[in-house]
Chains A and B, each alone.
Chain A
């Protein structure tokens, strides 16, 4: 057995905890999961049936762990893992599953197929079979965390420019974007790009929130690699920053995987219980509206809007009603997609897929069910509270010829605040080239 395969199998053993073994054992192969997958909806073929995907890992698992399969592999379809097999597994886990968990919710057994796909991703990462782009993005973030001083100066210059814009928009010459303010209540962690800072700065200034901006980005590409070591290192930068600044809340930008990573996974990776809360900006905005700290005028947005539930925020994160509350407050014409909430279709861009140009065709094909859903709402604006979803929805609306704009939740709220000046056009752009990640604030 070559070293790659040994590493992959060792990683499978490391990950073989109760939930994973259960997922590997419990599937009855009833096939009822097929239509739950957006890949299958877009292209009904066997390779897109979640049970079939799970079987690909089960073959290797049974060959190592099942008595009958070792004696008579053909009986259970067991197959020893080899290098072509590992490559095929990696290809499947990174390009044909967005880890959206819709199949799990639809499985009568509760088979956690995404957990198996994560196991494969971890096997691929440790054996060097994972997509290079994801590895590079994760490593870049780790390097930046080791010595942020190099980037900080450029970052602060960009923030100064942004502050001028902020003051113009709000008509408030004292509006600021504080960075590394010790003792602030809120540490806001944005993404790469001013579009995830400026609208939020408007909101924080309007509410007179005691806040500060993180010098790091919320993205965590270690998550997509299912690499606990990298995920942990990337998360640690922000957790350490929060501890150093003695904040009370970490507030994560509109980003699905980052919210899931920091809110639900980081305490487990870091083995820590924090003395600060980790919240999404969506929860915070909803609270501001309820408390009357920001006033929104729904007549400011008369267009039909619809909302896309990011899988990481809704199905995997429990943020389901909060964004709807914000939208119903800020817009006058809100149409739900069908299905929605925990039954919503993945847009097809999750699991790191939007960062992988080699799988663009598959991603666009898998986005068809979402495009069809959007079309049926008659919406002119699609709101998504996740950067990757927005990128994907922008791509699929273009690809399938939909006449809709894609917006972040905060952008819409700022528009409904009826400020003296509107936000600059924040076209969603692809921000995954290494240079742009090295210098996160690009505008």
Chain B
């Protein structure tokens, strides 16, 4: 198969995926946003900043303290998904990369594949997780894992480049339709949470005055 054709296929898949994500984003953006008229106790902006930064650290929440390994697995997997996307976009220049960089990418993304597979296996093995999961959840995690594997393999051997582009096209088209679309809503969700806790002076922990009130 001609590489130009598969690259065009991937670009088309990307276009459809971005269009789908845009439509999803537009749909949620057009929903009403409740106006908060209550006087602020804290700073909503600080709350949002906290929710998207310090509030994501493994020790910031009881749940992530209890499940540190599982949480770090998820974080590691997601970071590598973005790394794999970056590698995909630079793949036309693959041969310009020094062998050492390619090797690092192969091992780095390869480890991401293990993290993804571990997530997929956990979803099958752990009782509550299995029962709360939909077929879409299982499919999505394995699909992204296979995508990451294809990107890693493409850095190893040229023969994997065409399969990588085909898999990428499928992934892009599926993103707005399946569970992976949670990536669109993540920033909305954390921001709403941050605004809530910031405005009400719950988090980040405010400086307290003598009377226990907040400055």
Contacts and interface: CB of A to CB of B under 8 A. Distances in A.
B200 interface: yes
A110 B192 contact: yes
Interface in A49-71: 49, 51-52, 55, 67-68
Overall SS of chain A's interface: helix
Nearest to A54: B132
Given A104-B193, A110-B189, A322-B212, A17 B32 contact: yes
A320 B208 CA distance: 10
Contacts of B34: 17-19, 268
B203 interface: yes
A268 B193 contact: no
Contact of A22 (B28, B62, B129, B200): B28
Nearest to A65: B27
B211 A18 contact: no
Interface residues of A, number: 69
Interface size class of B (residues with CB under 8 A): 35 or more
Contact of B182 (A27, A77, A112): A27
Interface in A1-39: 16-19, 21-23, 25-36
A260 to B, nearest CB: 9
Contact of B129 (A31, A75, A76): A31
Interface string B133-170: 11111000000000000000000000000000000000
B201 interface: yes
A287 B211 CA distance: 6
B37 A268 contact: yes
Given A29-B132, A34-B128, A271-B37, A264 B200 contact: yes
18 contacts: A17-B32, A18-B34, A23-B189, A26-B189, A28-B179, A32-B63, A46-B131, A46-B132, A49-B128, A105-B197, A264-B38, A267-B38, A290-B211, A318-B202, A320-B202, A324-B212, A342-B202, A342-B203
Interface of B: 27-29, 31-39, 41-42, 51, 56, 61-64, 66-67, 70-71, 74, 126-129, 131-137, 177-179, 181-182, 184-186, 188-190, 192-194, 197, 200-203, 208-214
